[in-house]
A and B are shown apart, each in its own frame.
Chain A
Amino acid sequence: MTSELTLSVNGAKHQVSVAPETPLLFVLRNELKLTGPHLGCGMAQCGACAVLLDGEEVRTCITPVSFAMGKQIITIEGLPAVWAEKKGLSQADAAKTLHPIQQAWIDEQVPQCGYCQSGMIIAAANLLARNPNPTVVQIKDAFTNTPPSPHLCRCGTYAAIIDAVQRAAKAMNA
């Protein structure tokens, strides 16, 4: 049975008419056309579908949309605005801005196929909010041992991700 739900995504309110048990991933992708989060394993084992929910990483493939009601959802599409707000940028400047994590991902040339990287960027945002200056060991630990599962990359871009997280940390602390 469908219900009318209100979601707060990337700073805007959206009305959706969906079954409340629908995983958030399918609502973001199919109803709101936010296709940054990707379907990977569908069982919270890989991280490709990760978004921030009130600042904490969640796996949207197993999170019912009803659980996200009343919370702030941020996808990679919304990260530039988060940064612009933090830095108090004008709307014109904000429109041209990427989040430093996204910029670091470009500068370090991280993505290969890139399918998992939306989730990796979310994991980086989550880590850097907790620890603005992580060591390599702490980065590895965060991407591997934060529940519910390691963030997996089959192309093997882990070394590039470590470089990019450190570059982003520098930019965000500057």
Chain B
Amino acid sequence: MTANTENGNDSPMTTTITRRGFVKIGGALFVSLYVPGNFPLASAAEGQTSLDPTLLASWLEIRSDNTIVMRTGRTETGTGMSAYYAQAIAEELDVRPETVSLILGDTDRTPDGGYSAGFLTGMSNVRKVAAYTHRALLGLAATQLAVPVAGLSVTDGIVSGGGKNISYGKLVEGQHLELKIPVEGKQAKPDPTGWVGMTSLDGFTVTGDPPMKAVSEFKVIGTSYPVPSIADKVAGKTRWSCDVTLPGMLHARMVRPATLGSTLVSVGKLDQKQFPAAEVVTKGNLVAVVSPNEWEAISAARVVATGTKWTDWQGLLGSENLTKMLREYQWGAPAESKGNADEVKAALAGGGKTISASYEQPYVRHAPIGPFVAVADVRNDGSATVWTHSAQSQGLRARLAFVLGVPVEKVVVRWLEHSGQYGRTTLGGDGAEGDAVILSQLTGKPVRVQWTMQEDMAWSSVSPGWVSDVQGAFDANGHLTAVHTALYSPHMFDPRPLGALLAGMPCATSKPGNWIATEWHYEKIQRLEEVYGMPNLAAESANGGLRGNIMRTPGQRQQNFALEGLINEAAAAAKADPVQFRIAHTTDQRLIDILNSTAKAAGWETRPSPHRGARKTGTGAMTGRGVCIMVRSNAYWVGVAEVAVIPATGKVQVTKFTIGAECGKIINPRQLDRCMKSGVAMGLSEALKEEVTFDKQKVTSTNWSRYQILTMEEMPEIKVVQVSRDDKGFGGGSEAANAIVPPAVAAAIFDATGVQPRRIPLTPAYVSRLLKG
């Protein structure tokens, strides 16, 4: 292809060639400093700790072998973003994606920061940088080859024109390109009075309007380019964040109270004869055992924990009382409301037929397979280097700087792959990083803190429970004319570093709040959505209870459960087919199209729910099907669940799940297929099994038999429908599949039994109680 690279006067960039050659990081555009496969051992004590996002050199490097290195502060969280980024960069630069490598998440080696969850913004950044670079490279080639830009074309990084050609690598060898990247935004920094205790978590956004390829010209986007990190992961070659070792490093295991409410009375004894190299380290309520030998640290910490005494705090209320407590809380005004309050209230009070229901969801947990781990090296000069798998490196950097009381420039966060995060570090909250920097500061040595799974399940932040009250008003034809949803939840954005909380060090606190996440797609229905937030559960007592951090598909997963539940109940009340009922309340053709194609793939039979033979008793399996939809980040989702319920036992088996997604132009069909199926697995897990339990003192669901997640045996047949469109841009395809599962499964149980579940998880105990009631 050719592209217009004429620099207009209003262009944000200037192309000048200099011969500065090899310049140190930040200045060396085209000379590689990247050594793949080695641990980046540079520390915050040695040199530059951030990159200027307005310099092209901070983002992109073209090596003399014609390969590309792109740097972004966003990270791979397991959904395949590293493939999508490479595809977008390759597309704009006319190179093969295999030639693109990425440096992700290191705060000193990437320019932009930002949420790893914000894939669309992240991709837009690297795509625009690639497009700006492409234009500049064509300008260089025009000079070098003495051929006008309009006469040039690029294939696989080779520029051709006028019978001559030159590779990007040759074109730029030993040269430096002064190219300004226009950006807006600010670096993340602590803001103790702000909403989540931080500002600028979205980092820098690349602005301007460089010429980019039209969808019809795409050669790489839309193909199933393999996720690059997989080959090393299956060969055991990946260097994970748990693999970091430093000279002189100590291993630490933490000794914890039951919850934040308990405080330290006395530390258990450490027998130096038994554990000669181990040492107890304490600061406030932060207690750890360190040793150069990991097994000694583990063994000694167990002994110390047995002898350590804490105050007996009983400030939690017990998970079985959660709904009651949420009902009794004085909520005050909504944190946010949307829609036409007057019309909705008038419709509900108008004397026509109405419907109302309340829905409940428990606390759930991100619960990755690998517990938190971090290594920190804090030096006497106040510098700190931290190795992490956080999904928000710059945010974490700023938080840790605040904890240590040093400028952010003193802190470097290096990112490595590890177990999934599912949203738990999106706001820069810590796992083991707070512990690690404090222990490194106290011991004067690099410290690796490895949490145990039980510790992670007790101490990592949790995704709060919800109660939702929903009402709808019908017209004479059985159409919904108005819907009111009121959504109530404890605090779900609390990224205060745990280590700092326990050690009594500074934490930029966050404010309680809540927001409306649903994107309204039933525009024929007037709506009033109100959302209410309260502080952390038990925050009023002592030092605070459970820290909330909402998980995957945040907000919509919770809010859509209630909203789509009501739509299903309303369809049943109107004796309408649930698919047709939805179509009747929208004019959004994208939604109608994906609903129809998914229903067709599922073999959907048009009829109202419940099924004619629905029964809520007996030992035979009753079957049913249910549907739900969701619109999120320019993506349209449909889920159709088929279940078999045994009323006598309450056992629910999901036998088949059909999932449809239309997310604009599909970037990578195979990885989208993988994300859709795995999202269904997580959604089924949430629908059927997951609940964080706690008594008055502590979290009690602290292992995999108490916090159960879906197993392979419980996987249904999954059918995937993908629709790619060239005319609607890109949508978020990787994350959201989990959220469409619970409402569809609940609707299928209603179809099978005639009883609508309004709570998850749909455990045998709950379902059998529900059916008997």
Contact = CB atoms under 8 A, between A and B. Distances in A.
Interface of A: 18-19, 22-23, 26, 29-30, 34-36, 38-43, 45-46, 48, 75-77, 80, 98, 102, 105-106, 109-118, 121, 139-141, 143-145, 149-162
A18 B296 CA distance: 10
Given A112-B79, A113-B417, A156-B685, A23 B369 contact: no
A115 B366 CA distance: 15
A38 B670 contact: no
B713 A105 contact: no
A159 B718 contact: yes
B627 to A, nearest CB: 21
B26 interface: no
A76 B238 CA distance: 12
B711 A154 contact: no
Closest 4 pairs between A and B when the two form their complex, measured CB to CB = A156-B681, A36-B236, A113-B78, A156-B678
Interface string B108-149: 000000000000000000000000000000000000000000
B678 A112 contact: yes
B295 A152 contact: no
16 contacts: A18-B295, A38-B370, A41-B369, A45-B453, A46-B704, A77-B235, A102-B234, A111-B227, A112-B674, A113-B420, A114-B238, A115-B419, A139-B712, A154-B368, A154-B709, A156-B681
Nearest to B295: A22
Contact of B295 (A26, A38, A149, A162): A26
B471 interface: no
Contact of B453 (A18, A41, A112): A41
Interface of B: 77-80, 226-227, 229-231, 233-236, 238-240, 242-243, 294-296, 298, 367-371, 417-420, 422, 450, 452-454, 670-671, 674-675, 677-682, 685, 703-705, 709-715, 718
A18 B294 CA distance: 11
Contact of B235 (A30, A98, A113, A158): A98
Nearest to A80: B235
A146 to B, nearest CB: 11
A43 B713 contact: no
A153 B230 contact: no
A156 to B, nearest CB: 3
Contact of A145 (B231, B703, B713): B713
Contacts of A39: 242, 370-371, 450
A118 B678 contact: no
B667 to A, nearest CB: 14
A100 to B, nearest CB: 11
Nearest to A108: B674
Nearest to A159: B677
A43 B457 CA distance: 14
Given A109-B227, A156-B678, A159-B718, A144 B712 contact: yes
A154 B226 CA distance: 21
B236 A76 contact: yes
A105 B233 CA distance: 10
B427 to A, nearest CB: 19
A153 B674 CA distance: 13
Contact of A140 (B77, B422, B713): B713
The residue in A26, A98, A113, A117 that gathers the most chain B C-beta atoms within 10 A of its C-beta is A113
Contacts of B230: 105-106, 109-111, 114
Contacts of A23: 295
Contacts of A42: 452-454
B290 to A, nearest CB: 15
Contacts of A76: 234-236
Contacts of B80: 112
A48 B234 contact: no
A113 B680 contact: no
Q: Which of B234, B242, B370, B679 has the most CB of A within 10 A?
A: B234
Nearest to A29: B243
Contacts of A110: 230, 234, 674
